[in-house]
Amino acid sequence: MEIDSLRRHLAGWHDVDYAEYLLAISIGLVTPEQSFQTDVKWVFWSNNVVENKLRELLDDLVKLGFLEKNNDLQYRYNLDWDINKIE
């Protein structure tokens, strides 16, 4: 069984709303069949408990070093990530 990973989904830079969508897919909140544009974009473009928690999780993954975040509020997987180097 192949499991989609956030690492693969965020291999390149993505805006915060789409990064939240990819995180939501990775943890099963939405399915890949649910279109970002037509089905669930409203979740990531409004102030609600799901969007807020996904943003918090992304930022926690940045603090952990698993993701990188740039000044344009885009996220991507940190190529230097190594779980054996966490403190």
Query: pLDDT by residue (tens digit) across 39-85?
Result: 999 999 999 999 999 999 999 999 999 999 999 999 999 999 998 98
More reliable by pLDDT, 37 or 2: 37
CA dist 4 → 7, 10, 23, 45, 71 (Å): 8, 11, 11, 24, 27
- The tens digit of pLDDT for each residue in 18-36 reads 999 999 999 999 998 999 9
pLDDT value at position 1? 36
What's the token pair of residue 24?
A: 């939501």
Band (5; pLDDT cuts 50, 70, 90): confident
